[in-house]
Structure 1
Amino acid sequence: MKSLGSIRRSFAPWADPKSIPFIAVKNVTKKFGDFVAVDDLSLNIYPREFFALLGASGCGKSTLLRMLAGFEQPTSGEIILDGQSLAGIPPYRRPVNMMFQSYALFPHMTVENNIAFGLKQDGMPKADIAARVDQMLKLVKLDKFAKRKPHQLSGGQRQRVALARSLAKRPKVLLLDEPLGALDKKLREETQFELMDLQQELGLTFVVVTHDQEEAMTMADRIAVMAHGKVVQVATPPEIYEAPNSRFVADFIGDVNIFDGTVSSAGNGTVEIATESGFTVRVASNEPPAVGAKAGFAVRPEKIRVGRDQPACAPLNAAQGEIWDIGYLGDMTVFHVKLKDGKVVKASSLNAVRAVEDPLGYDQEVWISFDENAGVVLKD
């Protein structure tokens, strides 16, 4: 099998104007009475893409997934899959399969019978069913557990049975609704990479719904961040994290510090913002707001340095404060620094060595600082 890394570096069909979407959601709205769950949403998903719908509970992501599966019908708009409109096509006639968060395994059936269930319903010959089930068991590394029942399996093994059952019918698209939510943290992290490798090996299109940012960032080729039934931004994980297009996305994805202020100067690819915290931010910006406009500056904790000495860049991109809280997480240390105006800034430092001489402690006076390209300007 090819290196997953090399595949992912070169995979970007959305960047090619000639690419034809495999799934096209066109101006879809879904209402439940007066409540608008999905609001005039348009979205393109490409063949072999691992696509994530990310958002808080109630944002419409699961409703969109259910419309793709055929369990809900759009109030208006159209969904096209592989050139065919899905309007009026029942779930069992669609070339998609869905893996539910609960796994929905039949408790009285063995692993192999759970996997074979959909194939039997389709009337596949017994010999072909046996071959397909054997293939699926090997694919998810459960061939030694074929005769067990769900209650005799661990949570991770049940998750793999549900996945094998979903893949057995060889759908064109696999829909996953919070597929790893029932697993513990370590197993969830391991399974994320297994799903990625499996998706590449099978060459299928995966659409996953999750509220877990780390899960989406790890697995997806692209992420659609949703809020109130709309897509706020669609981009690759690095673009979503490093270049959020709005305050909502910056605040929703990962940890972030946002400094509000007024644009004091702009030009030559940079903008300066006089912040409400009493210092000036200078940041690289190709589309700076107008002088005098209100703006925000978003910078991630890992981009902020914390030290005792005044940095050379001060008073630009630097402010003085005191350490309010310290969190040791093993791989990194998190500092909460309270600035003179009372704003608390979060900074993180990688623990690259086992011990640090004269480490920073509580209530110490420190400076925070960051580079000009460390963050982004937020216009809204």
Structure 2
Amino acid sequence: MKSLGSIRRDFAPWSDPQAKPYIRFENVTKRFGDFTAVNNLSLSIYEREFFALLGASGCGKSTLLRMLAGFEEPTSGKILLDGQDLRGIPPYRRPVNMMFQSYALFPHMSVEKNIAFGLKQEGMSKADIDRRVAEMLKLVKLERFASRKPHQLSGGQRQRVALARSVAKRPKVLLLDEPLGALDKKLREETQFELMDLQQELGLTFVVVTHDQEEAMTMADRIAIMDKGEVMQVATPAEIYEAPNSRFVAGFVGNVNLFEGSVAERTENSARITGGSGAQILVENAGEAAKGNDVAFAIRPEKIRISSRKPQDAVNALEGEVYDIAYLGDMTVYYVKLDDGQIVRASMLNAARIVDDPLTWSDRAWISFRPDAGVVLTR
């Protein structure tokens, strides 16, 4: 079995034409005066999915989340949850809960009282509240901190209290707006996996808004890349990375090299692309590109080999000069200035501690790559 990237779990309802979306945005537009925050957007999210809305500031992702939560109403279009139109339903009557970046914990309340607050508002009995709070404390591993106030906790612990409070009411959907933004890098990485495990254990649908690519790639089953109020691509993390559908998506997620040119020859699966300087690139993932089309060949840095001599077995090889080097510990990144002036980024895993005849600044070097190492983009 071959797969485009690693598969984390056997969960892909979006691939089943019979599966019904749990959350559905239908031609949703949201305007604030003359500014269009969300533009005629349609999107499907499935039950038990961990879904990420990823994009730069101002792309409309938080507005989309706020409309789902009920804090904003669409200017036009419909939002459906489990088949029910949410228009006109206030936030407190929607089967969703939202966890904010600031966590919004009550500073004068203990951890257990913070978690119990929403349950008391719903009129749950004291015995049931005590049982649910104990269950939530165990779930987020904070039993020992039940009587502490928020200021007595670390950032990661406060984040878990906010999460426990959000899921205590057993919402159908949990909305997370930049949930890990306040944490340091190491703690953020650890918490990503905790969130994934928690989502699996609870069986809830999670929708997370983030501008952090690594966060979305780590946690989400699928990602929607957004720009200027529109969805540019919806796919699994591996598909987004290995098969972007446009120059924008390829450049937004991870690092990429784009070779611009036109299709000189086209067969059923492969194509030969000629660049402006006359350089020839043979590719196998040519998609819908037709002969004569102006295209870009997108290839990730780790798919490129770099060497001091031209590899004899290389189908695609270009010569240049080492322009810059970044040693990152686990890998070394080389910037090679090709003879036509384009700078190409190539990364090599530092699998060995000692390197024989290493490349350095101003050395002549060859970059090479397989025909199936990248994709052809027509837009």
Give the TM interval when normalised to the shorter protein.
over 0.9
Provide Cα deviations, 1:169-205, integer angstroms capped at 9, x if missing partner: 0000000000001111111111001100110000000
Displacement of 1:285 in angstroms is 2.9
Q: Which amino acid aligns with 1:233?
A: Q
Answer whether contact 2:286 2:376 (CA < 8 A) is retained: no
Partner of 1:324: 323
Provide Cα deviations, 1:127-178, integer angstroms capped at 9, x if missing partner: 1111111110110001100111111111100100100010110000000000
Partner of 1:356: 355
Q: Secondary structure at the match of 1:56?
A: coil
- Summarize the alignment of residues 237-252 of structure 1 with structure 2, pairs less than 5 Å apart: 237-252=237-252
Answer whether contact 2:38 2:228 (CA < 8 A) is retained: yes
Q: Secondary structure at the match of 1:318?
A: strand
Q: Name the CA shift for 1:309/1:286 in 2 (closer, same or farther; >3 Å).
A: closer
- Summarize the alignment of residues 95-106 of structure 1 with structure 2, pairs less than 5 Å apart: 95-106=95-106
- Summarize the alignment of residues 203-282 of structure 1 with structure 2, pairs less than 5 Å apart: 203-282=203-282
* Runs of 4+ with deviation above 4 angstroms: none
CA distance in 1, matches of 2:279, 2:188: 42
Partner of 2:371: 372
CA distance in 2, matches of 1:71, 1:275: 50
What is the root-mean-square deviation in Å for CA atoms of aligned residues? 1.3
- Summarize the alignment of residues 1-380 of structure 1 with structure 2, pairs less than 5 Å apart: 8-285=8-285, 287-312=287-312, 316-380=315-379
Answer whether contact 1:271 1:288 (CA < 8 A) is retained: no
Provide Cα deviations, 1:53-104, integer angstroms capped at 9, x if missing partner: 0001000000000000000000011111012111110000000000000111
Question: How much identity, in percent, do the aligned residues show?
Answer: 72
Q: Secondary structure at the match of 1:10?
A: coil
Displacement of 1:353 in angstroms is 1.5
Q: Which amino acid aligns with 1:244?
A: P
Partner of 1:3: none
Answer whether contact 1:320 1:368 (CA < 8 A) is retained: yes
Q: Name the CA shift for 1:58/1:150 in 2 (closer, same or farther; >3 Å).
A: same
Answer whether contact 1:277 1:340 (CA < 8 A) is retained: no
Q: Which amino acid aligns with 2:377?
A: L
Provide Cα deviations, 1:31-68, integer angstroms capped at 9, x if missing partner: 00011000011111001000000001000000000000
Answer whether contact 1:69 1:97 (CA < 8 A) is retained: yes
Answer whether contact 2:256 2:298 (CA < 8 A) is retained: yes
Provide Cα deviations, 1:199-238, integer angstroms capped at 9, x if missing partner: 0000000000000111000100000001110111000011
Partner of 2:3: none
Q: TM-score, normalised by structure 2?
A: 0.97
Q: Which amino acid aligns with 1:337?
A: V
CA distance in 2, matches of 1:156, 1:137: 14
CA distance in 2, matches of 1:31, 1:288: 35
Displacement of 1:311 in angstroms is 2.0
Q: Secondary structure at the match of 1:51?
A: strand
Displacement of 1:354 in angstroms is 1.7
CA distance in 2, matches of 1:132, 1:7: 34
Answer whether contact 2:52 2:207 (CA < 8 A) is retained: yes
Answer whether contact 1:220 1:237 (CA < 8 A) is retained: yes
CA distance in 1, matches of 2:162, 2:253: 29
Q: Which amino acid aligns with 2:39?
A: D
Displacement of 1:263 in angstroms is 1.1
Answer whether contact 1:270 1:288 (CA < 8 A) is retained: no
Answer whether contact 2:137 2:143 (CA < 8 A) is retained: yes
CA distance in 2, matches of 1:318, 1:182: 44
Displacement of 1:254 in angstroms is 0.3
CA distance in 2, matches of 1:72, 1:86: 11
CA distance in 2, matches of 1:176, 1:13: 22
Unaligned stretches of 5+ residues in structure 1? 1-5
Provide Cα deviations, 1:243-294, integer angstroms capped at 9, x if missing partner: 0011110010100000101111111310111113542111113534222221
Aligned length: 374
